[in-house]
Amino acid sequence: MNLVIRQVKPEDLPAVAEVELACFPEAEAAPREVLGERIRVFPGSFFVAEIDNKIVGFINGSVTNDEVISDELFSNTNLHLSQGKYQAIFGLDVVPQYRKKGIAAQLMKYLIQKAKEAGRKGVILTCKEHLIPYYQTFGYMNKGVSQSTHGGAIWYDMILKFAD
């Protein structure tokens, strides 16, 4: 498996939108227009995983000064702060046929490294309860049930703080 992780390009939008729909229920999936806006506004924190020049996953999120993700942050790219303290993760997507191969972990480690290089204080995300142990393997701490009602689901706020 020849995996390449690279920064997203505008022409990746169709493939990225396809991956998003394969990974999330419609109520939770980011619409194509929102994904396009994210690619335009914060390509420096949007990375794709390719195998044989085919996008099989991606990780993305804006930057904020907040330690938790608000629902508005998911859809309003104007809230992106390029010099913000925390890298948010909106989605860690890998298409079903490529799961359990370490691709998601490599995407996560890549984004964490990029956030450190950018001088961030940490990384934040929301996840469903069954994924808490997975994110804890990267050092994330569970802050409890989130205020987020995104897609009508129950989410948990997670934070990974970098040592000063």
pLDDT digits (tens, 9 = 90+) for 113-158: 999 999 999 999 999 999 999 999 999 999 999 998 888 889 999 9
Percent of the chain with pLDDT over 90: 80
Across the range 95-99, mean pLDDT stands at 96
How do the domains of the chain map onto residue ranges? 3-161
Residue 164 pLDDT exceeds 70: no
**Residue ranges in 30-102 assigned as alpha helix (H):** 32-41, 71-75
pLDDT value, residue 13: 98
pLDDT tops 70 at residue 37: yes
Q: Which CATH number fits domain 3-161: 1.10.150.120, 3.40.50.10860, 3.40.640.10, 3.40.630.30?
A: 3.40.630.30
Query: Which pairing describes strands 91-94 and 122-127: parallel, antiparallel, or unpaired?
Result: unpaired
The DSSP call for residue 26 is T
pLDDT, residue 77, reads 82
pTM > 0.85: yes or no: yes
Closest CA to 132 of 121, 123, 143: 143
pLDDT at 63: 96
Say if residues 59 and 111 touch (Cβ distance below 8 Å): yes
